[in-house]
Amino acid sequence: MANKRETHCNNQVDTFAEALATARQMQQNWLTYGVDFVNIYVEDVEGDWLETWGHDEILGNFQLDSIKEFLVSNDSVAVRIRQHLGERSLFDFAVNLDESWRISEGDDRLSAVKNLLAGEGNSIDTDDIRLLDLVNSLVVKLAEIL
């Protein structure tokens, strides 16, 4: 038993020693090359990777595209949602709706969509019949679309 614990501890020490050696090498490269040390560790450092960080998650998302298309459509539920949102960003609503739709439990998903429609910090009554009707209509439509 003690032998197994010692072997496990040795593996952790070896892993830590490797990480420490890598960090020291990176620090040495920084001291040697200055900010150009980044060229050693980052591929395509001169590209636009920083400006486009996270865009592939949003732009390549079929579900989000379907939600956006629905929200700008002439569907009666989409029109009611746009009226309900007023000045709120339709794109932000679509992104948040996409995230809410990924919730696996039906009741939790329904609650998330209700809170999303009610809006953050708004004093809208979440027990309002019209809001609940809109939430249920939206969930049914999304189930058909997605």
Q: What is the pLDDT of residues 44-91, one digit of tens each?
A: 777 776 676 665 555 567 888 899 999 999 999 999 999 999 889 999
- Residue 66 located in a structural domain: yes
Both 68 and 119 in one domain: the answer is yes
Q: How many domains does the chain have?
A: 2
Average pLDDT, integer, range 2-7: 56
Tell me the helices (H) and strands (E) count for the chain, helix number first: 8, 0
How many Å apart are CA 102 and CA 25, to the nearest integer?
A: 42
Does the model's pTM come out above 0.85? Answer: no
Residues spanned by the domain of 111 = 56-144
Both 98 and 127 in one domain: the answer is yes
Both 77 and 117 in one domain: the answer is yes
| pLDDT (tens digit per residue) in 102-140 | 887 777 888 888 888 887 655 556 567 888 899 999 999
Note the pLDDT of residue 28: 92
Both 74 and 137 in one domain: the answer is yes
